[in-house]
Each structure stands twice: as C-alpha cells, then as structure tokens.
Amino acid sequence: MSLAGKVAIVTGSGQGLGLAYAQELARQGASVVINDVRADVADAAVASIVAAGGKAVAVVAAVGSTETAKALVAGAVDAFGRLDILVTNAGILRDTVLWKMSDDDFDAVIAVHLRGTFTCVREAAVHMREANEGGRIICIGSPTGQRGNFGQTNYAAAKAGIVGMVRTWAMELARANVTVNAVIPVAATAMTETVPYFASAIAADKAGQAMPDFFRHDLGFGTAADVSGLVAFLASDAASGVNGQAIGVGGDRLQIWSHPEPVVTEYRVGGWSYDDLTAGFAETFGSAMQSVGEKFPPLPAELAPEPAEAK
C-alpha cells in the first residue's frame, strides 16, 4: 500500500466526493481524519473505513475558522502521531444570480471554501514545516472557478481563489518538501443531480451501471471513484515532482489546466488611447475574445431526458 504509515485529513469527508477521497486514501494505507458538521454522518464514514480494514477517526466541526483548523491537525496528531496529507474538500453552495445574492450568501460560501482552505492549509503547513518530513496538500477546485458558471458568483470566486493560493503555496512550501496541488473534479454530485443534462448518467451510476461513453469520454464526467485515484496519487511519494498544478479529472479524462496566458499581444508607440481602441480594437483583438462558462455539446437522442408533460 503506497500510503502505509501516512496520516491524512480530508475536510468535508462525511459523504460524497470527500468520503470517496478518504476511503481511497485509507485503501492505500493511510490513517484518515474524517471531518463533517454532523456527528452521525462523520461516524458512519469512519465506520465504513474501519469495516474495510482501515483506520479513521472523526473531527466534527464546521470548516472555516482557525479553531477548526487547529482541531483537525490536533486530531490527526493525537490519534495517529503525525500529519502527512491534507485534502481540503469542505464546501457549501448558495446559488443565485448576482442581483439576488445576499451578503450572507456570498460570505457563507467564501468562509467555508476559501477561508476554510486557507486556515486548514496554514495550520497543516506550520505542522509540516516543524516536523520537517515533507507533506502533500491537495485542494479541491472546480470548473466553475476556471471558467465561471451562471448563478455562482460566490462559488466561482472561492474556487478561482483556491487555485491562486495553490500556485503561491507551491512556491512557499517547496523548500520544506511539501507539494501543493489543486484537483478540478468533474463528477456526479448533489449539484449535478439537479441538472437534467446529466440525468441519464446519474441514473446509471445510482443503478450501479457504467455511465454512457458520451459522458465518460466526450464530457470527462464520471463518478467519485474516478477522482479519488488522482487524489491518492498526489498524496503519494510517486507524485513528489508534481507541484503547483491544477489537474482536471473526470470519467476517462485527465487534464492539466494552464495558467491564464495572453492569447494575443500588440504594441502601439505612445500607448493605447480611447480613439485608437475605438478604431481598431475589434479588428485587432476581436478574434481573440475568450468564451465564458462551460459549453456542452447536444446530448445524443438516446440520452436526452424525456420531455415533461404539458400541464
């Protein structure tokens, strides 16, 4: 087992993708700290790992505060004597369009996703640097943070911010032999269950059947298990040379996301005045305008959801 003797914290791991990550880390030999806001959910997650022959304990707390970050690191050290791996997965959604989004909607999502990632990574980094045995930090991003998504101002801001922090932490922690990477999963979740486009894929997954190839291959959309292998790999010694990367995974597809890079560069002596831009922007830069949001191809006819009956 590649992670034998290692100790991992996975935030937001009581169910869903986080639980899949925790179970795979345990399957590879790591002892795992489960985290959830509900004790019964956390205890059930621990029980699932123990029943499979692994080791796990629970820390029941809401991610976001420094106090929770300290409790998670202390939970790992108290139970297992060390900390080698942190996976920051905890998050919530408060989706609505910009003009309807309240301060509380925005702040709640930022507090868990962005601030929670910051506080947990900071606490883990302090411990790992003092222990001087290296470490692995894996932060969970989203395609929404890379490209945007209608109705998700708060979530997009948080997930984009996480990737920015990952790039920075990868530099800051390199001398301590701590790698920091972001995983961009595309998988069946509670959020995608509500989207009719994915209905046939979700139905197949729930029935214990393989998702249609259109989803797995063409869209790179799959199950939680399709993501957990990458998380375990990045947590291992085999990934010691992978640092500061944003890696997309889903279904049969794996991707390395690039840094935002200029796609066209032009110069004008004296700079670009209003008149210059008005006269020449469209011709010079128009073909380089970038798309926003995810663009999905039409579903094959056999996978399209049944039209709702008219009332």
CA–CA dist 203, 289 (Å, integer): 37
CA angle 121, 126, 132 (to 5 degrees): 115
Which of the following is catalytic: 6, 13, 31, 155? 155
Element at 182 (helix H, strand E): strand 178-185
> What's the gap between Cα 146 and its chain centre?
11
Of these residues, 13, 21, 31, 142, which one is catalytic? Answer: 142
| Closest to 224 in 3D by CA, of 15, 26, 59 | 15
Distance in angstroms (rounded) separating the CA atoms of residues 201 and 237: 34
- Smallest CA-to-CA distance from 2 within 180, 243, 247, 238 is with 238
DSSP state at residue 123: H
- Please return the burial class of 204, using the count of CB atoms within 10 Å of its CB with bins 0-12, 13-18 and 19+: middle
How many helices (H) and strands (E) in the chain?
11, 8
CATH of the domain spanning 7-187+223-257, picked from 3.40.50.720, 1.10.3720.10, 3.40.190.10, 3.40.50.12500: 3.40.50.720
Tens place of pLDDT per residue across the chain (311 aa): 699 999 999 999 999 999 999 999 999 999 999 999 999 999 999 999 999 999 999 999 999 999 999 999 999 999 999 999 999 999 999 999 999 999 999 999 999 999 999 999 999 999 999 999 999 999 999 999 999 999 999 999 999 999 999 999 999 999 999 999 999 999 988 778 878 899 999 999 889 999 999 999 999 999 999 999 999 999 999 999 999 999 999 999 999 999 889 999 999 999 999 999 999 999 999 999 999 998 888 999 888 877 665 44
In this structure, what are the phi and psi dihedrals at residue 252, rounded to the nearest 5 degrees?
A: -90, 5
pTM here is: 0.94
305-311: Cβ within 8 A, 24+ apart: 305/196, 305/197, 305/199, 305/200
Annotated active-site residue 142? The verdict is yes
Ramachandran quadrant class, 270 (left: phi over 0; alpha: psi -120 to 50; beta: rest): left
Helix (H, G, I), strand (E, B) or coil at 285: helix
Residue of 143, 167, 165 whose CA lies nearest to 155: 143
Q: List the strands of the sheet with 31-36, edge to edge.
A: 55-60, 31-36, 7-10, 85-88, 135-140, 178-185, 246-250, 253-257
Domain borders along the chain are 7-187+223-257
3 state SS of 55: strand
| Residue 259: both structure tokens together | 């840094």
Of 21, 159, 200, 228, catalytic: 159
- Catalytic status, residue 159: yes
